[in-house]
């Protein structure tokens, strides 16, 4: 098994301090060596209808399932999750081994 | 603006030939030079509840918004979309400039 992705698609509640939550997430990841890479996006292009109200995408990459598990169960992560969830109206979470069809050149 | 992601989260209809659809997608991408990378996943780990019925994740990366636009409007893509949509029960689509917090080492 190769890389494993941790994908979160989120809609924040109205009125919450999204920027603070994002900063907290960036800070968390900076201290977690098992997170190989982390990127996110919110400046959405394309059709709003196809997003069904979701506004943010977060993508983390891990070298393997063990690294993902050690992240998900790390006290700093489980502690952050409480703050994160309280800011969310809805979220989808996907953890999956990545099947690479076309690798970056 | 740096890389742009095209993310699709999908739930296929029961009884459709998912494997054929995936092969069609891989074939499409192989002919599209403007697609920088393409990966997907379906062997989901973690909590089913958090996936709300969605079963597949597709992630494409482009060097910029122009490459994404040229892919989305390419006749081969618009032709494929018809087949793809008819196989889907539900889907979310996100196109966004990627904000890289932690680049791959």
- Give tens-digit pLDDT for B5-16: 999 999 999 999
Size of interface A-B (CB pairs under 8 A): 142
Rounded CA-CA distance A67/A59 in Å is 15
- Could you say which of B39, B50, B100 has the minimum Cβ distance to residue A39? B100
Instruction: Determine the residue of chain B that is closest to A26 in CA distance.
Output: B101
Closest CA to A82 of A37, A30, A24, A27: A24
Pick from A47, A52, A93: which is nearest to B46 by CB? A93
* Residue pLDDT, tens place only, B11-45: 999 999 999 999 999 999 999 999 999 999 999 99
CB-CB under 8 Å, B9 with A99: no
Share of chain A above pLDDT 70, in %: 98
Q: Do the chains contact at B65 and A43, CB–CB below 8 Å?
A: no
| CA nearest to B77, candidates B60, B100, B64 | B60
What single DSSP character describes residue B48?
A: G
Please report which confidence band the pLDDT of residue A104 belongs to, taking 50, 70 and 90 as the band edges: confident
Is A93 close to B4, i.e. CB distance below 8 A? Answer: no
In Å, what is the CA distance from B30 to each residue of B33, B36, B47, B69? 7, 10, 33, 17
Residues in chain A with CB shorter than 8 Å from the CB of B93 are 46-47, 50-51
Determine, for residues A94 and B61 on separate chains, whether the beta-carbon distance falls below 8 Å: no
Q: Are strands B56-62 and A56-62 parallel, antiparallel or unpaired?
A: unpaired
Q: What is the pLDDT of residues B65-84, one digit of tens each?
A: 999 999 999 999 999 999 99
How large is the average pLDDT for residues B54-71? 97
∠ CA(B83), CA(B84), CA(B85), 5° rounding? 95
Closest chain A C-alpha to B40 CA, distance in angstroms? 5
- Indicate the average pLDDT of chain A: 95
pLDDT digits (tens, 9 = 90+) for A60-100: 999 999 999 999 999 999 999 999 999 999 999 999 999 99
Dist CA A57 CA A53 (whole Å):
12
Q: What is the pLDDT of residue A2?
A: 85
CB A90 within 8 A of CB A8: no
Cβ distance of A4 and B45 shorter than 8 Å: yes
If one compares A14 and B1, the residue with the highest pLDDT of the two is A14
Cα–Cα distance for residue pair A34/A64, rounded to 1 Å: 9
Name the pLDDT band for B1 (thresholds 50, 70, 90): low
Backbone angles phi, psi at B52, to 5 degrees: 50, 40
Q: Check whether A42 has a pLDDT greater than 80.
A: yes
- What's the pLDDT score for residue B10? 97
Q: What is the pLDDT of residue A1?
A: 59
What is the pTM (predicted TM-score) of this model? 0.95
Q: Give the closest residue to A95 by CA, choosing from B87, B44, B105, B22.
A: B44
């Amino acid at each position: 098994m190769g890389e494993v992705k941790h994908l979160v698609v989120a809609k924040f509640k109205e009125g919450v301090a999204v920027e603070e939550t994002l900063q907290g997430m960036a800070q968390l990841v900076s201290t977690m060596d098992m997170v190989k890479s982390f990127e996110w996006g919110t400046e959405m292009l394309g059709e709003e209808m196809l997003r069904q109200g979701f506004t943010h995408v977060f993508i983390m990459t891990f070298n393997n399932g063990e690294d993902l598990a050690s992240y998900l169960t790390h006290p700093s992560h489980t502690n952050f999750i409480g703050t994160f969830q309280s800011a969310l109206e809805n979220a989808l979470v996907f953890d999956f081994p990545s099947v690479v069809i076309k690798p970056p050149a």
